[in-house]
Amino acid sequence: MELTGAQALLESLKKEGVEVVFGLPGGQTLPLYDAMYHEKGIKHILVRHEQGAGHAADGYARATGKVGVCFATSGPGATNLVTAIANAHMDSIPMIAITGQVGTPFLGKDSFQEVDITGITLPITKHNYLVKDAAQIPYVVKEAFHIASTGRPGPVLIDLPKNLQVAKIDFKYPDSISMPAYKPTYHGHPKQIAAAAKLIDKAEKPMIYAGGGVIASGASKEVFELATKISAPVTTTLLGKGAFQETHPLSLGMLGMHGTVYANYAVTECDLLIAIGARFDDRVTGRIEHFAPKAKVVHIDIDPAEIGKNVSVDVPIVGDVKNVLSALNNHVKAKDPHSEWVAQVLSWKEKHPLCYKSGGGLKPQAVIEEIYRITKGEAIVVTEVGQHQMWAAQYYKYSQPRTFISSGGLGTMGFGLPAAMGAQVGMPDKIVLNIAGDGSIQMNIQELNTLVNNKLPVIVVILNNKYLGMVRQWQELLHGRRYSHTDLDDNPDFVKLAQAYGAQAFRVDKFEEIEKVMKKAIAKRDCPTVIDFVVEREENVFPFVSPGQAINEMIVD
């Protein structure tokens, strides 16, 4: 079948099961968008800024487990994707970014809107391609999807010069590809699994520390089986939220810098830490030499480079978490659910619950708790980055994987709104919340327009304290209350702004109004809603472990 390069690209995407792409056209993607004009099989969501396209593809991937795809033109279009690509890379999200490039005769001549995007994205992609021959397009797409979605997932960029988009090729999609150098390990070594089982059987205070790898691998069921069989409390990372029911007695919520007191105590006291699809990030470990000081460590991860990177490990198991755990679960012996250890952990849970002081104005934590109650814990919660993100992590309880979507590794303000859009496109029947701060929401607020145009009912919850709140909190606690350039007192009127974009909008400053307004928002299925919650300005996120401290040394109020 003879096709142009652009048509071949679209056919290849359909062969990979792509149903939707997020993008914005430009000079060097004109042929690609010309092919899109007649395309029936792929839906295109036209964003207002390429960063939005990147985060939307990322959010789509996180909500659905499929590969997210975004398009941008060359030069500034491509560089606008950079933050989104870095974000997906840090959190191991499968994503394909396709950028237009100047025609091959113009490459390397500083042509109009030319940037070396493969060079720029080298350290923030799992792999990338500058295609130089149109006949390679199907092979490159096939490889790119394979790389993005297998092993430890990640973003792959394909840079496609304009002249290749119009070149004619004889299209045939390859059935298979040969990549001799790329062979992820999926099954744990039986000896290592046996060694881990031995440690688990011997342990008196076992503890599970689950990360985003559990969700990527689809292994929540296996984690649940392990935890309940060996009666081990489970703490998760930010990206691991939803991997284990937070309503379960053995759930300790999140650990680390803003983790629960009981999770941080338990990690410090446990005699065996089973790390599953997690990478011992500094926000989790605090001062690393005081992290889990009494514990032997079993580390299960598909990426061998994570083993031993930050902490030394007693039993490493390289493999897909789901495969490893299903093998491991058969090896381990059941433990007493009423052990001293479990009793100890439960008593910490009772003694040191997450809490905040009531009184004064509207409390952001109370807003999250109320929204949790009203949505019955069934919404997909997508956050920006900052205080609101931590409150959304602490006070909403997650029971299903892929229901908490947040920028973990890169900490990207402006991630949430477009990512919520991607999640809503992927899960049209779900309630999708974008929990935002007044600082973050302004970093990609233009995507409200995209939500309106596509009738996407994302509910934007702005916890508005008129501050860059997390930075202000650090200034308060660590820099003598010198609030250097964190005051956003001159914020726009978010209600009017949202209405100007065509969204439904409300302002709430009393707790009693939350339910009524949220119900209106939930009922509206053909338009986004923005709710401006006017909250206590100087509320802090607690517990808080100062950077460089051990995680059991928390400031709690």
Partner 1 sequence: MRKHTIAVIVENRPGVLSRVSGLFSRRGYNIHSLAVGTTEDENLSRMTIVVAGDDDILEQITKQLYKLIDVVRVYELSNISAVDRELVLIKVAANEATRPEIQQIVDIFRAKIVDLGENALIVEATGDSEKIDALENMLKKYGIKEMVRTGKVSLARSEETK
Summarize as ranges the residues that interact with partner 1 (CB under 8 A): 118-119, 122-123, 126-127, 130, 132, 147, 179-182, 303-305, 307-309
Q: Which is nearer to partner 1, 246 or 301 (CB)?
A: 301
The CB density around residue 123, as the number of other CB atoms within 10 Å, is: 8
Which region, left, alpha or beta, applies to residue 202 given φ > 0 means left and ψ of -120 to 50 means alpha? Answer: alpha
CB of 308 to partner 1, least distance (A): 7
| Active-site option among 112, 309, 351, 538 | 112
Q: Which is nearer to partner 1, 307 or 521 (CB)?
A: 307
CA distance 445 to 501: 10
CB of 198 to partner 1, least distance (A): 24
| Active-site option among 162, 296, 322, 349 | 162
Sheet holding 380-383, edge to edge: 404-405, 380-383, 432-437, 459-464, 529-534, 504-508
Q: Where are the beta strands (DSSP E) in 179-232?
A: 206-210
| Active-site option among 11, 39, 50, 369 | 50
Torsion of CA 365, 366, 372, 376, to 10 degrees: 160
Q: Which is nearer to partner 1, 130 or 292 (CB)?
A: 130
Lookup: tokens for 537: 């300005």
Q: Which is nearer to partner 1, 310 or 546 (CB)?
A: 310
| Active-site option among 470, 494, 533, 544 | 470
Q: Which is nearer to partner 1, 308 or 428 (CB)?
A: 308
Tell me the HSE value of 212 on the side-chain side, using a 13 A CA sphere: 26
CB of 220 to partner 1, least distance (A): 26
- 3-class secondary structure, 100: strand
CA distance 27 to 39: 19
Q: Is 142 considered catalytic here?
A: no
Beta-carbon contacts of residue 361 (< 8 Å; ≥ 6 apart): 509, 534, 535, 536, 537
CB of 122 to partner 1, least distance (A): 5
The CB density around residue 214, as the number of other CB atoms within 10 Å, is: 29
Distances from the Cα of 544 to the Cα of 224, 407, 459, 477, 515, angstroms? 28, 19, 29, 10, 30
CB of 294 to partner 1, least distance (A): 23
CA distance 541 to 470: 8
Beta-carbon contacts of residue 490 (< 8 Å; ≥ 6 apart): none
Distances from the Cα of 90 to the Cα of 55, 58, 487, angstroms? 13, 12, 29
CA distance 105 to 103: 6
Say if CB 241 and CB 223 are below 8 A apart: no
Please list the alpha-helical segments (H only) found in 29-136.
Answer: 30-37, 50-64, 76-80, 82-90, 117-120
378-401 burial code (b ≥16 CB/10 A, e <16): ebbbbbbbbbbbbbbbbbbbbbeb
Q: Which is nearer to partner 1, 179 or 478 (CB)?
A: 179
Amino acid of residue 169: I
CB of 64 to partner 1, least distance (A): 25
Q: Which is nearer to partner 1, 26 or 409 (CB)?
A: 409
Q: Which is nearer to partner 1, 185 or 549 (CB)?
A: 185
Q: Which is nearer to partner 1, 305 or 343 (CB)?
A: 305
CA distance 252 to 245: 10
Say which residue the tokens 């149903």 belong to. Answer: 19
Q: Is 470 considered catalytic here?
A: yes
CA distance 68 to 62: 9
CB of 185 to partner 1, least distance (A): 11
Q: Is 162 considered catalytic here?
A: yes
CB of 316 to partner 1, least distance (A): 11
**Peptide linkage before 190 cis (omega within 30 of 0):** no
CB of 531 to partner 1, least distance (A): 42
Q: What is the DSSP letter of 339?
A: -
Q: Which is nearer to partner 1, 119 or 353 (CB)?
A: 119
| Active-site option among 14, 15, 19, 113 | 113
Q: Which is nearer to partner 1, 243 or 307 (CB)?
A: 307
Q: What is the DSSP letter of 334?
A: P
CB of 128 to partner 1, least distance (A): 8
CA distance 462 to 492: 13
Q: Which residues are catalytic?
A: 50, 112-113, 162, 470
